[in-house]
Amino acid sequence: MPHDTPAHKRILIKLSGEALMGDDAFGINQAVIGRIVGEIAEVARMGVQVAVVIGGGNIFRGMAGGAVGMDRATADYMGMLATVMNALALADAMNKTGLTARVMSAISIDQVVEPYVRPKALQYLEEGKAVVFAAGTGNPFFTTDTAAALRGAEIGAELVLKATKVDGVYSADPRKDAQATRYARLSFDEAMTKNLGIMDATAFALCRDQKLPIKVFSIFKPGALKAVVMGADEGTLVHV
């Protein structure tokens, strides 16, 4: 395989809302979102089809006090709306870089974003557009990790990329243990036995059952996303 040929044609990136905050307490840091979008646009220009599932923790964090004591389902629907706001911001930044993006929501907000329809999402990806999936699965009690696993399986992604603040999965917290070592590869069974908490149990089981590998990497490390799609030893690969 030529060194400039991507190892993966279609990927799904699971991006937490907190990744958009930078050093802010909550909300969206424009410098951070611009840097992340720059990394995504670079791999898209290489011909990689990119889908993103975005979380909403950065927006919802600003409302956390008001959510105390709230019914769980109601709070989860509020969280879904937060993901829609993040998805709109992400798509706007993508469009400004020249990468055409479409936001698709699991809940109906027709005046703002189009509903998620699998054939339409596949069409956008084939056309070279980035697709940002918002509102999780559209159901309370399910995390955006589960939405990433579900959408990844539905669109036939070759890899789910869990974008984090650390450059992989470690034997211990590297911020607290200088002896912690990064795993280059793990099987799903090994990750479960070691209780590494890579994704929530539902998402993890779905990826395992669908034989959909997960790559954990740092979205803040320059060039890391490109290295992952090129098949380099970057981050941690979790596989069957």
User: What kind and span of H or E run contains 104?
Assistant: strand 101-105
Binding residues for ATP: 14-17, 57, 61, 164, 170, 173
What is the spatial distance between Cα 126 and Cα 225, in angstroms, rounded to a whole number? 20
Please state the domain extents for the chain: 10-164+188-239
What residues contact 28, with CB distance under 8 A and at least 6 apart? 20, 21, 58, 59, 86, 89
Q: Which of 211, 173, 174, 172 is closest to 189 using CA atoms?
A: 211
CATH number of this structure's domain 10-164+188-239: 3.40.1160.10
Q: Cite the annotated binding site for UMP by residue number.
A: 56, 76, 137-144
What pLDDT sits at residue 1? 41
Pairing of strands 159-164, 101-105: unpaired
**pLDDT digits over 25-42, tens only?**
888 999 999 999 999 999
Band (2; pLDDT cuts 50, 70, 90)? very low
Rounded to whole angstroms, the Cα distance separating 113 from 221 reads: 31
Please give the helix or strand (H or E) that residue 131 lies within, else none.
strand 130-134
* Chain centroid to CA 240: 20
Split at pLDDT 50, 70, 90, the class of 66 is low
Q: Are 160 and 152 in contact (CB under 8 A)?
A: yes
Residue 237 near residue 182 (C-beta atoms within 8 A)? no
Q: For 238, left (φ over 0), alpha (ψ -120 to 50), or beta? A: beta
Report whether 107 contacts 99 (CB < 8 A): no
pLDDT at 3 over 60: no
- Quick one: average pLDDT of 57-81? 80
Residues making up the annotated binding site are 14-17, 56-57, 61, 76, 137-144, 164, 170, 173
Please give the average per-residue pLDDT across 142-154, as a whole number. 97
* Cβ neighbours of residue 208 closer than 8 Å, sequence gap 6 or more: 188, 240
How high does pLDDT run on average in the chain? 92
Tokens matching residue 177: 């243990």
pLDDT of residue 178: 84
Span 150-170, average pLDDT: 95
DSSP state of 13: E
CA separation (Å) from 103 to 24, 38, 76, 110, 181? 25, 18, 20, 11, 38
pLDDT at position 62, please?
61
Buried b (16+ CB within 10 A) or exposed e, 181-200: eebeebebeebbeeebebbe
The rounded distance, in Å, linking the Cα atoms of 41 and 35 is 10
Taking the C-alpha atoms of residue 144 and residue 53, their distance in angstroms, rounded to an integer, is 7
β-strand partners of 51: 12, 131
For residues 76 and 20, give the distance between their C-alpha atoms in angstroms, rounded to a whole number: 20
pLDDT-derived band at 147 (thresholds 50, 70, 90) equals very high
pTM: 0.93
Q: What is the pLDDT of residues 72-121, one digit of tens each?
A: 899 899 999 999 999 999 999 999 999 999 999 999 999 999 999 999 99
Could you read off the pLDDT of 167-187 as tens digits, one per residue?
999 988 888 888 889 999 999
pLDDT, tens digit, for every residue of 122-141? 999 999 999 999 999 999 99
Per-residue pLDDT reduced to its tens digit, 214-225: 999 999 999 999
